[in-house]
Structure 1
Amino acid sequence: MRHSSNAIMGQIRGMFLEGIKEDRDNPPLPSWRTPTFTHPPHDPHSPFHDIMVRIAITVSFVAAIIGMASSLSIDAREPTTVKAGLKKVSTVSDSKNIVAHDAARLNGYFKQPALEARKSKNAADSGSVINEIFSYIAETKVGSQTFNLIVDTGSSNTWVGATTKFKAGSTGQSTGKSVSVSYGSGSFSGTEYTDSVSIGGTGVTKQSVGVASKATGFTGTDGIVGFGPEDLTEGTVSGSSEVPTFMQNLVSEGVISENILGVKFAPLTGSESSATDGELTFGGVDKSAYTGDITYTTRTGDYWGVNVKDFKFGSTTLSSSTASGIVDTGTTLLYIPTAAYNKFLSASGGKADSQSGLVKFTKKPTADFTFSVGGTTYTLTPAQYLIAQDQYENWGISSDADFFTFINDGGSEAPNTILGMSFLEFYYSVFDTKNNRVGLAKAA
């Protein structure tokens, strides 16, 4: 558009100058006449009138072109985006505990009875407390304090105090309301405050923050910053139907223009137990973090839900039925429906290992694992879905002779497919509240 506008402007200028030259070559008055300051009489047929008309038309046309270019420039501008780094950490001593944590979260948090109990404020404390997990941590400043908070798209409340105790400063103010959430694998309860909250230097001035007086299942972290839909906060704070999320407040306070979150995860390499390769993008996406196009699908259900189908291992169809899925950064493994899982074991030669809680192979698989979301097929190669042997110690896997995968059994009851962080380390994810959709693209 800029090149085209410049070309038009050049043509206009040329036409105008050519007209001036023509008038100079054909002077309307004798050359001997001395010009005076007397205003010439108005004559619509005079050359002077022609020149003035040319000037007026040119100015009007130029103004129109500039206005149109400015309008297009505003319409085409990129949304305001900001980035914040993430750190992946592990508190795992036994892989079996990872599976137990995920199972408790799946059954005690995502399943419909648990959701309904939370919304009706009848949720009980978790009966199964599992502290050993992989997490992506955002260094988050609340008031004047800094906390290490789990990045969780499966929940929406922001809270602190699991390890580092909260101390209200000049910006923190108690609302006097109680707040509590049970995650299946852990829980917290305490008092709601409003305070300034920032991640990577980007933040808001008045965020609802739960301050825990009691927290279980969060050893090694200080709490959660929730990036789920707002309706997941229903029933969590006394006297409030719902509370605005951190992302909503970023928009309402004018920090970002659109409620869109881009998430980049990256697998640990070698034997490292932590890394700072993750990234959040507030207000849009990081185009350098993925390749190809982002494919979007309309959000389903109460969470960041998607419909998943066409599970395959190589050329073997595991299930063609549509499964109810959730894209969740707070779950470690990739869970698929029981029917597809059982066929996966048969087709791949794997078996459920009671010692590790994972699927074990004595012979390394060579086929790809695929499924589709919104008509787009997503592929995991053996190098991706098999846990790297250099990482066995971090996963708490004791056998070096066998192969293990992060694909696991999600059960029969919906939702039974969870696209957790192990999958998301190979696919960039976008949580688009503005357009009520979820996007995925191959990670760069």
Structure 2
Amino acid sequence: MLAKLRLLSAVVLALTLPLLTNAFVVDRDAARITLPVFKRVNMTSTANLLEIDQARAKALRARAERQYQADSPPKDPVTDKIVSYVARVGVGSPLTFFDLIVDTGSSNIWAGARSLLYVPKGSPQYQGPVAVTYGSGSFAGTEYGSTITLSPDSPAISQSIGSARLAMGFNSVDGIFGIGPANLTLGSLPFSPNVSIPTVTDNLYDQGFITNKLIGISFEPTTNLSNPNGELTFGYTNPDKYTGILNDVPITSTNPSSKYVGINQTTTYGTESLPILANTAGIVDTGTTLIMFASGAFSAYKAATNAMSDSATGLLKIVPGDYAQLESLFFEIGGFKYELTANGQTWPRALNTVIGGQADGIYLAFGDLGSSSSEGLRQSEQSSGLCYNPLHERY
């Protein structure tokens, strides 16, 4: 897993599913399915970015521990995510296309947020009610057996799809394209709470379209509000999207991060290796925007950077003089060390006003998770201790 380095032209993450600790081998002759991904910024959102990611972290913990009722939406949903990474997916036959948020922190696929009571075309197979609660909203509806198409030249894949009759918090997209582990679907079928739903990666593999349960995720830096410069690859990794080698690291055994794409890592700051976070578990989550540190680590990072809390955005803010002194963050993951440069730690200035900040302000893309590192889930697009969000770029 690669940290987001500003020296690289792209961010690349390779995931093997099911989540095993043994090394994987990429078969260059395997079937290759590529799905374009683009960033979408919600200009109408008034939600606080930090609050959204904190709410998501709570929902992730609850889902892993199955401490919520699948058919009960959150009492105080945080709506309208500011930054999303979206793929256009075709459903049914003839095809209906939907813009779905790419999410490694969940595994259900559903549509209908902007066109409720959607029923897949063709001959969908009724499978019963379905519901999922997210930190940024929820949906409830009906699960159908249908087909999906991931690109114009890819085959139709048999896939279970949720059709929303109620959706909150997804006004700017049509639904979710969950690509996490299949166990995250447990509890989403109220009448069959112990039954999981095969993911798109499972079905691609089982139906013979790919020979490796492998997902590649890449996203190139951009300052545009919407830009189709990312991609998902199934069954292979695109060698044009990275330099060097992709390192294989084991999934953490620490709960609840182990239920997701979880990693153990140690975080230090600067050339003096100032401790920020001792070896601990976090998750890879494309659905989280910020780098969310556990409270102790967040305080250490805030002090190291001489940052101030900004009430308008919920982020840390530094003055130009402090930015000139800002050093790199280093993440040691699976024996490999990755550097996040000073520029990589800042929120894109072109998007400052989108989050309620000053146009010329310098904001750090980190948040306080509001929990201790002993909980086993530090979440962020890169963090919680560190949650790596492979699609969120910095400038």
Is 2:88–2:98's contact at 8 Å kept on the other side of the alignment? yes
Q: Which residue of 1 aligns with 2:274?
A: 317
Indicate which of 274, 278, 292 corresponds to 2:230.
278
Q: Following TM superposition, by how much is the alpha carbon of 1:94 offset from its aligned partner in structure 2, in angstroms? A: 6.0
Does structure 1 residue 375 correspond to structure 2 residue 324?
Answer: no
Map 1:22-421 → 2, pairs under 5 A: 78-93=29-44, 97-107=48-58, 109-111=59-61, 113-117=62-66, 121=70, 124-143=73-92, 144-165=95-116, 166-175=118-127, 177-201=128-152, 202-237=154-189, 238-239=191-192, 241-269=195-223, 272-300=224-252, 301-363=258-320, 364=323, 365-393=325-353, 395-410=354-369, 411-412=371-372, 413-420=375-382
Name the CA distance, whole Å, in 2 between partners of 1:295 and 1:280: 18
Is 1:126–1:187's contact at 8 Å kept on the other side of the alignment? no
Q: Aligned with 1:115: secondary structure?
A: helix
Q: 1:274 to 1:186 in 2, by over 3 A?
A: same
Is 1:119–1:236's contact at 8 Å kept on the other side of the alignment? no
Indicate the percent of aligned positions where both proteins have the same amino acid. Answer: 30
Is 2:267–2:329's contact at 8 Å kept on the other side of the alignment? no
Give the TM-score, by structure 1 length: 0.73
Q: Aligned with 1:418: secondary structure?
A: coil
| Structure 2: runs of 5+ lacking an equivalent | 1-25, 253-257
Is 2:71–2:130's contact at 8 Å kept on the other side of the alignment? no
Q: Following TM superposition, by how much is the alpha carbon of 1:124 offset from its aligned partner in structure 2, in angstroms? A: 4.6
Q: Aligned with 2:247: secondary structure?
A: strand
Give the TM-score, by structure 2 length: 0.81
Name the CA distance, whole Å, in 2 between partners of 1:221 and 1:178: 21
TM-align CA RMSD: 2.4
| Structure 1: runs of 5+ lacking an equivalent | 1-74, 428-442
Q: Aligned with 2:259: secondary structure?
A: coil
Higher helix share: 1
Q: 1:178 to 1:162 in 2, by over 3 A?
A: same
Q: Following TM superposition, by how much is the alpha carbon of 1:209 offset from its aligned partner in structure 2, in angstroms? A: 0.6
Q: Following TM superposition, by how much is the alpha carbon of 1:315 offset from its aligned partner in structure 2, in angstroms? A: 2.1
Is 2:70–2:133's contact at 8 Å kept on the other side of the alignment? no
Is 2:85–2:102's contact at 8 Å kept on the other side of the alignment? yes
Is 1:265–1:426's contact at 8 Å kept on the other side of the alignment? yes
Is 1:181–1:236's contact at 8 Å kept on the other side of the alignment? yes
Q: Following TM superposition, by how much is the alpha carbon of 1:235 offset from its aligned partner in structure 2, in angstroms? A: 1.3
Q: Following TM superposition, by how much is the alpha carbon of 1:230 offset from its aligned partner in structure 2, in angstroms? A: 0.5
The CA deviation string for residues 114-150 of structure 1, in whole angstroms up to 9 with x for no partner, is 4323587575535222213211111011112111001
Q: 1:91 to 1:299 in 2, by over 3 A?
A: same
The amino acid across from 1:307 in the alignment is N
The amino acid across from 1:337 in the alignment is A
